[in-house]
Amino acid sequence: MRRLLIPALAGALVLSACSEPEPEVTEADVAAIEASLVNGSTLAWELTQAETRVASMCMQDEGFTVHDTSRLHGNMIPNRFEGFDAPYARIPTVAQAEKFGFGTWVQATDTDAALAMREDVDYLAFTADDMGWLLEAEAEDDSYEEWQAMGEEYHEEWTAAFVGAERAAYDAAMSEAFEEADSDAEYEDIDVGEQPPFGGCELETIEIVYGEPVHHEVEGDEYWSKPDTESPLTWIGDGELYAELSADYAEQEEDFLVCVGERGHGEWEFDDFGWLPTRSYLDQLYGGGVGGMENVPPLTDEAEDAEDPVAYEFAMALDFAQCAEEAGLREGTDEAWARMSVAKVIDREAEVYAWEQRIEEYLANAQEYLAGK
């Protein structure tokens, strides 16, 4: 027995010596980092809007009044973060289920109730992770229709004024090369020369808001970009965190899924990120498809026969909410998720605060310029 135990003990000692200790995370750490990320997320959206206004004013000075609005901010919508909620928080609470179901009907219908709910603070908070800032960016959809109606000649002149004539010619050549290339061609397979630097109103906007563009050299290739404003949340691997959370709450997950099945909703399973495909499932009731998702259960007979999809959604959401509550998926999971998330960034805490400050400074640059116009 001792000959067996000694190597096992030695192995354990080696593992313990080699493995990195888990960083200690306090409630104060969670509160401070969460507050910084929430504030930075809000400021990043305000920055996107301010940058768009700066760019549009430059283009108006060039004689253009109708814009490809998303192009004005680089086709980038920042991440939205409202706090460290566990994946299970995408299952509504009983109160949420009674108020807006899963929220799918809000975007799937155009009733007065749906339009009003799109501005409800509780609904917006519940859908923040999934919808991001898309609801707030809906005005871009309206302006894009006007842009589309302007015709090809206007588009070409606008593009040359925004990105500069040299970069516009490069983009056009790249687009043409892609159209002529094989369908499986990759970006790096296309060679139309070196990418020109920013020009036109795009360069002017970058200089006003960010100071200057960034030049990159990667494996012999050169390109330009705006300064990086990516959220520190990208440092956290949701799939990895969910695997840890799921291991701790395996029994509660199983109880929840059994409860859902017993209430007549078929067999469900969480994906690798802890999501349930409820939106894709319910989209089918409103005339949509499953959106390419693979783990969407087939509609039950009751769902297929539902005369009122909205009423069915509310009833289904309430069943899921009650099952989650009964199974214990609400008991400490948000707190556990917050600690696990902060543990992933605590050793880069100063970088989190620096990111928030950087976003604030860029926004101040844009606001100062706009105030002076």
pLDDT at 46: 95
Paired residues of 218 in beta bridges: 221
**What are the pLDDT digits (tens) for 43-90?**
999 999 999 999 999 999 999 999 998 899 888 888 888 889 999 999
Same structural domain for residues 257 and 180? no
Least confident of 229-238, 303-312, 360-369: 229-238
SS3 at position 218: strand
DSSP 211: S
- Per-residue pLDDT band for 125 (boundaries 50, 70, 90) equals confident
For residue 268, give both structure tokens: 């469900």
Does residue 314 lie in a domain region? yes
Residue pair 104/313 in contact (Cβ under 8 Å)? The answer is: yes
Alpha-carbon span 244 to 336, nearest angstrom: 10
Same structural domain for residues 161 and 307? no
Same structural domain for residues 179 and 300? no
Same structural domain for residues 76 and 91? no
Same structural domain for residues 63 and 146? yes
pLDDT of 11 over the 50 cut: no
Mean pLDDT of the chain: 86
Does residue 292 lie in a domain region? yes
- Per-residue pLDDT band for 372 (boundaries 50, 70, 90) equals confident
* % of residues, the chain, pLDDT over 70: 86
**CA angle (291 as vertex; 148, 265 as ends), nearest 5:** 140
Does residue 188 lie in a domain region? yes
- Per-residue pLDDT band for 239 (boundaries 50, 70, 90) equals confident
Does residue 296 lie in a domain region? yes
Same structural domain for residues 224 and 122? no
pLDDT at 7: 34
Task: Give backbone dihedrals phi and psi of 110, rounded to 5 degrees, phi first.
Answer: -120, 30
Residue pair 365/210 in contact (Cβ under 8 Å)? The answer is: yes
Does residue 92 lie in a domain region? yes
**What are the pLDDT digits (tens) for 308-339?**
999 999 999 999 999 999 999 989 999 999 99
Same structural domain for residues 153 and 198? yes
The closest alpha carbon to 260, from 320, 325, 328, 331, belongs to 320
pLDDT at 135: 62
Task: Give backbone dihedrals phi and psi of 20, rounded to 5 degrees, phi first.
Answer: -80, 130
- Per-residue pLDDT band for 141 (boundaries 50, 70, 90) equals low
pLDDT at 332: 94
pLDDT of 113 over the 60 cut: yes
Looking at the structure of the chain, the number of domains it has is: 2
Same structural domain for residues 38 and 119? no
Alpha-carbon span 46 to 48, nearest angstrom: 5
Same structural domain for residues 95 and 205? no
pLDDT at 139: 57
Same structural domain for residues 276 and 150? no
pLDDT at 115: 93
For residue 196, give both structure tokens: 């020109």
For residue 111, give both structure tokens: 């009733």
pLDDT at 339: 95
pLDDT of 365 over the 70 cut: yes
Domain range enclosing 115: 87-131+250-328
Does residue 259 lie in a domain region? yes
Same structural domain for residues 182 and 300? no
Strands (E), 129-250: 214-218, 221-225
132-141 residues labelled b (16+ CB within 10 A) or e (exposed): bbebebeebe
pLDDT at 171: 85
pLDDT at 177: 73
**What are the pLDDT digits (tens) for 147-180?**
999 999 999 999 999 999 999 998 888 777 777 6
**Long-range residue pairs from 185-191, CB within 8 A, at least 24 positions apart, any chain:** 188/221
Same structural domain for residues 267 and 305? yes
46 CB burial (10 A radius; 0-12, 13-18, 19+): middle
Does residue 115 lie in a domain region? yes
Q: How much is the CA Rg of the chain, to the nearest whole Å?
A: 25
Does residue 335 lie in a domain region? no
Alpha-carbon span 265 to 218, nearest angstrom: 51
For residue 316, give both structure tokens: 């289904």
SS3 at position 215: strand
- Per-residue pLDDT band for 300 (boundaries 50, 70, 90) equals very high
**What are the pLDDT digits (tens) for 262-283?**
999 999 999 999 999 999 999 9
pLDDT of 184 over the 70 cut: no
